[in-house]
A and B are shown apart, each in its own frame.
Chain A
Amino acid sequence: EDQVTQSPEALRLQEGESSSLNCSYTVSGLRGLFWYRQDPGKGPEFLFTLYSAGEEKEKERLKATLTKKESFLHITAPKPEDSATYLCVITGNQFYFGTGTSLTVIP
């Protein structure tokens, strides 16, 4: 069965405390993996697209990596404004959404 699992469900970090969010998948025929950030009451904001294992993308304090089974979103020295829910979306034969990781960065 095709599915996407994100972990942890919730993560609390001190400001400056680096960590990683995980998105593991069992989707056959992966065509793309997307990371989004969603703030409360807003639509998801596109962050990264990854297409093949070994690919990496970076943007400010965020770095996304992809293997054949999972993707990581690394957050380096996070700030309170990084607090949000991070969504992983995969395209195979259709779109598959993870349930998200709610990140809280404490000053």
Chain B
Amino acid sequence: GAVVSQHPSWVICKSGTSVKIECRSLDFQATTMFWYRQFPKQSLMLMATSNEGSKATYEQGVEKDKFLINHASLTLSTLTVTSAHPEDSSFYICSARRSTSGRYNEQFFGPGTRLTVL
């Protein structure tokens, strides 16, 4: 149980185009999903927290107009990188937290999406 998928696993696009990445919790409902970015040999950097049915909360320094997040259902969140540029090339990882109440539950991570912008 607690499987999170991402699609696509890798994408190459031209500068100026937009790219959408999907994050799905396959066998549980997730009221909260997180989007991270990871550079080589560095730890994950939280970009935004996404709550189902409400606007995402972005971390300081993350452009909300560039990284559009939609959490339309309890099993799906999407990250759209708008007008992508080479500096947006990175490894994007999502995670989901189960909807059970009580303690802060562990996050389950997707396999990541490698974005390369030419």
Interface residues of A (CB under 8 A from B): 31-32, 34, 36, 41-46, 49, 51, 87, 89, 91, 95, 97-100
Contacts and interface: CB of A to CB of B under 8 A. Distances in A.
Contacts of A100: 43
B112 A32 contact: no
Contacts of B107: 34, 46, 89, 95
29 contacts: A31-B104, A32-B104, A32-B106, A34-B106, A34-B107, A41-B114, A42-B112, A43-B4, A43-B6, A43-B93, A43-B110, A43-B111, A44-B44, A44-B93, A44-B109, A46-B107, A46-B109, A49-B106, A87-B43, A87-B44, A89-B107, A91-B104, A95-B34, A95-B46, A95-B107, A97-B43, A97-B46, A99-B42, A100-B43
B12 interface: no
Interface of B: 2, 4, 6, 34, 42-44, 46, 91, 93, 95, 103-112, 114
Contacts of A41: 91, 112, 114
B21 to A, nearest CB: 12
Contacts of A31: 103-104
A46 B95 CA distance: 11
Nearest to B93: A43
Contacts, number: 48
B109 A45 contact: yes
B32 to A, nearest CB: 11
A46 B108 contact: yes
Nearest to A30: B104
A48 to B, nearest CB: 9
Given A87-B43, A99-B43, A43 B104 contact: no
Contacts of B103: 31-32, 51
Nearest to A96: B46
Contacts of B6: 43
Given A95-B46, A98-B43, A46 B2 contact: yes
Contacts of A91: 104
Contacts of B2: 46
